[in-house]
Amino acid sequence: MAVQQNKGGVFFVYGYGGTGKTYLWNTLSTVIRSKGEIVLTVASSGIASLLLTGGRTRHSRFHIPINLNEDSTCYMDPGTDEAQLLEKTKLIIWDEDPMHHKHGFQALDRSLKDVLSSNLLFGGKVVVFGGDFRQILPVVQKGSRQDIINASLCSSYIWSECNVLRLTKNPRLTMGTPSYDVEETRLFAKLILDIGEGNIGGPNDGVATIDIPDDLLIKDLVDPDRAILAPTNEIVDEINDSLLKFFPGDEVEYITSDTICGSEYINDTVDTALYSPELLNGLRISELPNHKLVLKVDVRVMLLRNLNQKEGLCNGTRLKIISLGTHVVEAKIISGTNISHRVLIHRSPLTPSDKK
């Protein structure tokens, strides 16, 4: 109704994993596009955008700045192609919103008001957000619990204008699941939901404890259909080292550059002995990969950079290693919309950002 009446409005579809949010987004966009209207579908991550028909990341579509503050605006001006596209747009769908900083939504709001010459929220456009606040919230470096909550969409002035709709049924339990797996799927869905709600385990010196099912132990994670989300990079390294031993074949090591780039702080007069290769190789920087990467053929890996969205190479794409060259890794995509596509991944120059 909001789209048909062209009166604008902001909605938030709140549903945990498996309740059909992606199906809803694609259904809405298909119905409206079948009438010749324009729908913009975006997501807060590259891997989520691949599941949307015509999906893009929010930065790619709206030119939202990487480093945000409370006064940020999107890089778009009235009269440009982007502005004309937004003027004709009937609906904006934004998935996986809880993981994005509220300043990004507010930047889009300010920019749409400017581009569309309207004082209405988001320039009078119908905007549908969606996600689950039980999952990943915005990352605030060295931030406290209060800082993270304050950075969430629910702490923005936009939230008070949202019409919250809820999805409560998990269709995966009744559709496409063999009858003999329904009960197992139901119990697993309940386990995940209870973890998100904090209704599992018990307090242990202020830390909640969770009993991990036997089929989710490390030795069973070699199954290519399984993945694990670890809380810290140190635990990720430990798990990767343990799982790599289960795969046959020889290991191939890839190392990064261990030389110092020239800068105004480092020149010929500086004693380079202070920056030995051993020191550089031991650095652990959150925004950069470790110095050494060890791989084997048939190992499953996850891409951590948005390299080529059209080819399905986004942050979060899972791949199976096919061959290991000196400068190139050949792999097959095993997740998303480009499953079975063979791709070549080459070395890439990376530098840390200036974000503090």
* Residue spans of alpha helices (H) in 18-115: 21-33, 46-49, 58-62, 81-88, 102-115
Q: Do the beta carbons of residue 104 and residue 127 sit within 8 Å? A: no
Please indicate, yes or no, whether residues 148 and 245 belong to a single structural domain of this protein. Answer: no
Residue 244 sits in the same domain as residue 125: no
Task: Please check the confidence at residue 279 and state whether its pLDDT lies above 70.
Answer: yes
Pair 14, 143 in one domain: yes
Same domain, 155 and 250: no
Q: What is the pLDDT of residue 356?
A: 43
Tell me which residue of 84, 39, 43, 73 sits closest to 60, measured CA to CA. 43
Whether 221 maps to a domain, the answer reads no
List, in sequence order, every residue forming a beta bridge with 331; answer none if it has no partner: 321, 343
> Is a pLDDT exceeding 80 seen at residue 179?
no
Task: Quote the pLDDT of residue 316.
Answer: 81
Query: What pLDDT shows up at residue 273?
Result: 65
Q: What is the pLDDT of residue 91?
A: 93
Copy the structure tokens of residue 345. Answer: 């991944």
Say how far apart CA 302 and CA 314 lie, in whole Å.
9
Q: Distance (Å, rounded) from C-alpha 291 to C-alpha 125?
A: 47
Asked which of 136, 151, 168 is the last residue of a domain, the reply is: 168
pLDDT value at residue 267 = 55
Q: How far is it, in rounded angstroms, from Cα 209 to Cα 204?
A: 7
Confirm whether 78 is domain-assigned: yes
**Is 305 within a domain?**
yes
Q: Are residues 163 and 21 in the same domain?
A: yes
- What is the tens place of the pLDDT at every residue in 60-95? 889 998 888 899 999 888 888 888 999 999 999 999
Same domain? For 274 and 146 the reply is no
Q: Assign residue 106 the CATH number of its domain.
A: 3.40.50.300
Least confident of 50-54, 67-71, 178-182, 284-288: 178-182
- What global pTM score does this model have? 0.70
Position 179 in a domain: no
Residues 141 and 283 in one domain: no
Q: How many domains does the chain have?
A: 2
> Within a domain: residue 188?
no
> Residue 39: what pLDDT?
94
Alpha carbons 150 and 128: distance in angstroms, whole number: 21
Lowest mean pLDDT among 17-21, 37-41, 285-289: 285-289
Asked which of 168, 185, 202 is the last residue of a domain, the reply is 168
Bigger pLDDT: 201 vs 329: 329
Last residue of a domain, one of 168, 195, 210: 168
Interacting residues of 69 by C-beta distance below 8 A, sequence separation 6+:
103
CA 46 to chain centre: 6
pLDDT tens figures, 141-154:
888 889 999 999 99
My answer on whether 8 and 127 are in the same domain is: yes
Residues spanned by the domain of 318: 233-346
Strand 292-295 and strand 252-255: the pairing is antiparallel
Residue 32 has pLDDT above 90, yes or no: yes
On average, the pLDDT of the chain sits at: 81
Residue 65, domain member (yes or no): yes
